[in-house]
Amino acid sequence: MYRMPETAEMANSEIYSPENLESGQSPLSGKTFAALGSSITYGFGSKETAFVEMIAKTDSCTFIKQAISGMTLAYDPQRPETHPEGSYVRQLLDRIDPAMKIDGFVVQLSTNDAQKGIEKGVITGSFNSQDQDPSTITGAMEFILAYIRETWNCPVVFYINAYLDRSYIEHFALTHPEFPVDIEQACHDLLDNYEEMIRILYELSKKWNFEIADLWNNEEIQNASFEVKDLLMNDVIHPRRAGYLFWYVPEIRKALIRALAKQE
């Protein structure tokens, strides 16, 4: 229905803005969702347009976007790198009205925690938000899940970033000398650490029974050529508008529909 961009500039053009997408009806129509995250949810590489605005248009639903670039899942007032004012935990507690009617949440699995060396933490035996440790990655995710359940009792979808490997990090560094990249550090943070977070997320899904929109283990994205990635991605992490439309929107949309079906 939508054609692939021919240039990187075209990938972020008005062709892929929400206003120019077709709208229709789906199981998401008429419902209100909240999206909690950082730069990918915000739309850092796509003129502040992300999957949020796109799904709202294509599926005739409402999205509340609560996202601040650079933020971490974890919150530790003793560690400034966890952004006490804007971590996912603080955004959830301070910036989303608990009295608001929300039918579902979409939460980003942040690479910022992986890059900042936040402690992984452990999965608890409790479903109570007060028993979780939001200063760790696992504890922050469990706190978010527990607080959403206690406050709105609605479905949750976590989404995992688009697949990335060492070869594309090296390719991007070679073709974008204006963005100096420490290859070894980037691979440690964005591959090793992030893959451990993905493992933890899947373990948590067994306990909490939430849906995952997994763009990391997505064959289409894994097999995409450098040429396609260079068109759809603004950098190794952030999509352009077309990247959201072709990769993020379908997976997050399907996961939301699955999550809603579980509650019926």
36-69 confidence digits (pLDDT tens): 999 999 999 999 999 999 999 999 999 999 999 9
Domain range enclosing 118: 8-263
Examine the pLDDT at 164 and tell me if it is beyond 70. Answer: yes
Residue 79 phi, psi (nearest 5): -125, 100
Examine the pLDDT at 218 and tell me if it is beyond 80. Answer: yes
Residue 3 lies in a domain: no
Instruction: Please state the rounded mean pLDDT for residues 12-39.
Output: 97
pTM of the predicted structure, to 2 decimals: 0.96
Residue 1 lies in a domain: no
Examine the pLDDT at 84 and tell me if it is beyond 70. Answer: no
Q: What is the mean pLDDT of the chain?
A: 95
Distance CA 164, CA 90 (A): 29
What CATH number is attached to the domain comprising 241? Answer: 3.40.50.1110
Residue 1's pLDDT is 75
* Residue tagged 């204006």 (tokens): 178
Residue 188's pLDDT is 96
Domain count, the chain: 1
Examine the pLDDT at 79 and tell me if it is beyond 90. Answer: no
Residue 131's pLDDT is 98
**Band of pLDDT at residue 19, cut at 50, 70 and 90:** very high
Residue 83's pLDDT is 61
Residue 2 lies in a domain: no
Residue 256 lies in a domain: yes
Residue 63 lies in a domain: yes
Residue 78's pLDDT is 75
Instruction: Please state the rounded mean pLDDT for residues 164-186.
Output: 93
Instruction: Please state the rounded mean pLDDT for residues 246-255.
Output: 98
Q: Which of 74, 237, 77 is nearest to 168 (CA)?
A: 237
Distance CA 236, CA 256 (A): 25
Beta strands 62-67 and 104-108 are: unpaired
Residue 82's pLDDT is 61
